[in-house]
């Protein structure tokens, strides 16, 4: 960004003062240091879920949440709070078998390359899903929110197209 008056310093966001940015950074650091992964996931889900649809189950293997986002159900699994534990988020977008499966496969691979960011299309049993998985080591609240939001958005944006185009007749 060019500065029309070189004597006036350019700030990154003219609407935020240095003290506002410092407060925001301290708040983010506090949340990151004091919130568990479970608490962060529940906060993200509460901001996305519709129709009071969120449900959670605790098992020996961790936690599993389910919630409605648009026309899709989103599943979030957290195996624990240790660095080696996993966060897995997925949503089913198409029941298999599908018509024109070779065209479907090509379309999914093209979408994986150009449209899915940290998520991907995959096949789980007899369903095409949008999913993301990673360990929770060094996983910030912002990254957790991004992963859940991306899976939900990409699934909701593509399920009807995939069902209309490739769904079994």
Residue pLDDT, tens place only, 10-64: 445 556 777 777 766 665 665 556 678 888 878 887 877 677 888 889 988 899 9
Distance between CA atoms of 129 and 8, rounded to whole angstroms? 52
Query: What is residue 39's predicted lDDT score, i.e. its pLDDT?
Result: 86
Token pair listed for 89: 């988020």
pLDDT at res. 8: 45
What token pair was written down for 12? 């990154």
Q: Which residue has the tokens 């789980």?
A: 124
How would you write 119-142 as a 3-class SS string? CEEEEECCEEEEEEEEECCCCCHH
The answer to whether 64 and 75 have CB atoms below 8 angstroms apart is yes
pLDDT in tens, 53-83: 888 899 888 999 999 999 999 999 999 888 9
pLDDT of residue 10: 44
pLDDT for 143 equals 92
Nearest to 45 by CA among 14, 10, 89: 89
What pLDDT is recorded for position 19? Answer: 75
Structure tokens at 61: 């293997």
């Amino acid at each position: 960004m060019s500065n029309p008056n070189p004597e006036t310093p350019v700030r990154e966001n003219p609407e935020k003062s240095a003290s506002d940015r410092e407060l925001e950074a301290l708040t983010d650091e506090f949340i990151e240091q004091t919130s568990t992964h479970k608490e962060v996931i529940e906060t993200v889900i509460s901001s996305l879920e519709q129709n009071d649809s969120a449900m959670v189950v605790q098992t020996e293997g961790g936690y599993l949440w389910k919630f409605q986002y648009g026309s899709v159900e989103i599943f979030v699994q957290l195996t624990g709070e240790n660095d080696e534990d996993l966060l897995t988020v997925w949503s089913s977008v198409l029941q298999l078998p599908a018509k024109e499966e070779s065209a479907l496969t090509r379309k999914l691979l093209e979408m994986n390359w150009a449209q899915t960011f940290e998520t991907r299309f995959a096949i789980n049993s007899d369903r095409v899903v949008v999913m993301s998985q990673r360990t929770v080591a060094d996983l910030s609240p912002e990254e957790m929110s991004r992963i859940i939001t991306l899976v939900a958005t990409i699934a909701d944006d593509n399920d009807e197209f995939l069902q209309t185009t490739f769904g079994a007749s």
